[in-house]
Amino acid sequence: MSPTRSSAPHKLEPAMCVAFGLILTLATVACTSTSASATCQPRGTELRVLAEGHAFDTDCLAAPADQEFTIAFRNEDTSPHGVHNIAIYREDGVAVFTGKALRPGGTSVVYEVQPLAAGTYTFRCDRHPFMNGTFIVG
């Protein structure tokens, strides 16, 4: 005797719905959070970042501790909503640098950043916080 199959639609139990929602939430957070295990190392005081397609070309920046540095930022986004900047935040969420926002279409600026203490920071676009990365100062 073979098992019978029901043609009725499957019904998800409430616990399964909650579990599925939790998995989706964790996956979203994992994909949008900055990496605590970033491995980039300072290689000088002149950094470069490109924004294009609502994304930065890097997810890790590094600068030496206790030294002024520059970030040459170019916005190649073509969307009318592609106004971007670079801001640097401490782990407690306090901004330590906020760069001028650039219009889309090939605009650029060189940000001059005051010395930062050694540590791990976050950089992001303030208008599009999903554009972010880890900033290592060491």
Closest CA to 38 of 91, 92, 103: 91
In angstroms, the Cα distances linking 64 to 46, 71, 77 are 10, 13, 29
Residue 39's pLDDT band (cuts 50, 70, 90):
confident
Rounded Cα distance, 22 and 25, in Å: 5
Q: The whole model's pTM is what?
A: 0.73
In angstroms, the Cα distances linking 32 to 25, 26, 110, 123 are 11, 10, 26, 13
Residue appearing with tokens 């906020």: 98
Mean pLDDT of 95-115: 97
Q: Structural domain boundaries of the chain? A: 46-137
| SS3 state at 34 | coil
Q: If DSSP states are collapsed to H, E and C, what string results for 60-116?
A: EEEECCCCCEEEEEEECCCCCCCCECCEEECCCCCEEEECCCECCCCEEEEEEECCC
Mean pLDDT of 103-116: 97
pLDDT value at position 38? 65
Q: Which sign does the torsion angle of CA 99, 100, 106, 111 carry?
A: negative
| SS3 state at 137 | strand
The answer, yes or no, to whether residue 36 has pLDDT greater than 80, is no
**What is the CA 99 to chain-centroid distance, rounded?**
15
The architecture (CATH level 2) of 46-137 comes to Sandwich (2.60)
